[in-house]
Amino acid sequence: MNYFQTIKLENFRNFNNFKIDFISGCNVLIGKNGSGKTNILESISLFEKGRGFRRENIKNFANTNSAKQNFKISSVFFNKGSKINLSLYNKNNKTGSVKTLLINDSSSNDSIKYFENLFSLIYFLPSMDRLFIDAPSLRRNFLDRLIFSADKSYNKLVINYKKNISERYKVLKNYRYDNFWLKNIEEKIAELGIKIYKKRTEHISVINSNLKDLDSYKKYSYRVLLLIKDDLIKNDNKDINNIYDTYLAKLQSIRDFDSFTGGCKIGPHKSDVIGYNIENRFNINQFSTGQQKTVILLIILAQCKFLINEVKVKPIILFDEVCSQLDIENRELLLDLVELLKVQTFFTGTEKNFFSFLSTKTNYCNINEK
């Protein structure tokens, strides 16, 4: 089993020097608001690629009450009984601050890649209560996170796509641009965009399929189907395979519009992820708040089952304040998730009694007493 055994924080967020131990099962961080519970989860999220689950600028992780501009996160990570020592800190340079990760004191690409493929992080944040009501970008990011947890190369694909979108706009701002150069960029955008469309539609199918197989899912009266909503594609891969010429033509036709507004009017960065109840065609955004949370938790459970059974990766799950205003059905669903998956799980909350539904084997950590 893969799990974080310890986390030590030095000059990180609100912590000067802080160390906490975890078990391989369920861990609950208890503390008053502002005590740093979410910061601890965020420190764990930084061990994946990127800037953590709040996507913060690296320089902002250093404790603002300290004169130091550097932070350090140390951890002991267990993989199938073998201990891996982790060290993560920031390096300041002329352009800003960058994250550096050491695996057993090594920063080699092979070491980093080896560690990154040992685990995946799945998380639920308070803002996700409104996932199906808020802007489409949040739903896109949610889906992209699920894809990344199964395919670590996906992030590079998205970054490369965005770089070409940005490059195209720079060219369009120059009214005397080279048509050959611009066409070359648009061809790259279409190629990369189609790859993203394929990844997303394939993963939506994975989620839909795994949802059907969940015993927890069968307890509910509604049946949810997730779809990609986009002007360029229908919800099948055959259609995606045939859109290259159409994609290029549309990119050319909107050049004037994009040069004026910035960005790009079409493509996977404009897609939406929608869902509806198969029986009555109600959109998920019409569900009650509790039902919407249920759907998100079911998606997370389906994703975790997929990772464990098909990708052969044990996820680590971070739940930040998920138990606030939680109804009985969702408590049972969370218990199913913890008991069935048997992976390392983290919860945060202000009171211990919020978690009375969990097993007696749960590890409770009172942050106020640290």
What are the structure tokens assigned to 168, written together?
Answer: 């195209």
pTM (2 d.p.):
0.93
Other beta carbons within 10 Å of 25: 18
Work out the burial of residue 286: count CB atoms within 10 Å of its CB; fewer than 13 is exposed, 13-18 middle, 19 or more buried.
middle
What are the structure tokens assigned to 116, written together?
Answer: 């990154």
Work out the burial of residue 159: count CB atoms within 10 Å of its CB; fewer than 13 is exposed, 13-18 middle, 19 or more buried.
exposed
Model confidence at 40, pLDDT cuts 50, 70, 90, reads very high
Report percent pLDDT > 90 for the chain.
69
How would DSSP label each residue in 92-105? Answer: EETTEEEEEEEETT
Looking at residues 77-95, what average pLDDT do you find? 90
The pLDDT, as a whole number, for residue 370 is 59
Helix segments in 64-153, DSSP class H: 109-116, 136-150
Q: pLDDT tens digit string along 73-82?
A: 999 999 988 9
Q: Is residue 238 scored above 70 in pLDDT?
A: no
The pLDDT, as a whole number, for residue 331 is 87
The pLDDT, as a whole number, for residue 254 is 96
The pLDDT, as a whole number, for residue 237 is 56
Q: pLDDT tens digit string along 156-170?
A: 999 999 999 999 999
The pLDDT, as a whole number, for residue 235 is 54
State the DSSP H helix or E strand holding residue 328, giving kind and residue range, or none if neither. helix 328-341
Domains belonging to the chain, first-starting first, are 1-119+314-370 (3.40.50.300), 134-310 (1.20.1050.90)
Name the least confident of 87-91, 175-179, 283-287. Answer: 175-179
Q: pLDDT tens digit string along 250-290?
A: 999 999 999 999 999 999 999 999 999 988 889 999 998 88
The pLDDT, as a whole number, for residue 164 is 97
Looking at residues 214-241, what average pLDDT do you find? 81
The pLDDT, as a whole number, for residue 92 is 81
From 73, 24, 70, select the one nearest 44 (Cα to Cα): 73
How far lies 105's CA from each of 75, 108, 111, 175, 339, in Å?
12, 9, 10, 51, 35
The pLDDT, as a whole number, for residue 67 is 65
Please give the mean pLDDT across all residues of the chain. Answer: 91
The pLDDT, as a whole number, for residue 240 is 85
d(CA 28, CA 30): 6
The pLDDT, as a whole number, for residue 87 is 97
Q: Is residue 15 scored above 90 in pLDDT?
A: yes
167: helix, strand or coil? helix
Q: pLDDT tens digit string along 97-121?
A: 889 999 999 999 999 999 999 999 9
Sign of CA dihedral 325, 330, 332, 336: negative
Model confidence at 329, pLDDT cuts 50, 70, 90, reads confident
Residue type, 116: E
Looking at residues 187-195, what average pLDDT do you find? 97
Model confidence at 369, pLDDT cuts 50, 70, 90, reads low
The pLDDT, as a whole number, for residue 59 is 85
More confident residue, 218 or 30: 30
d(CA 324, CA 126): 9
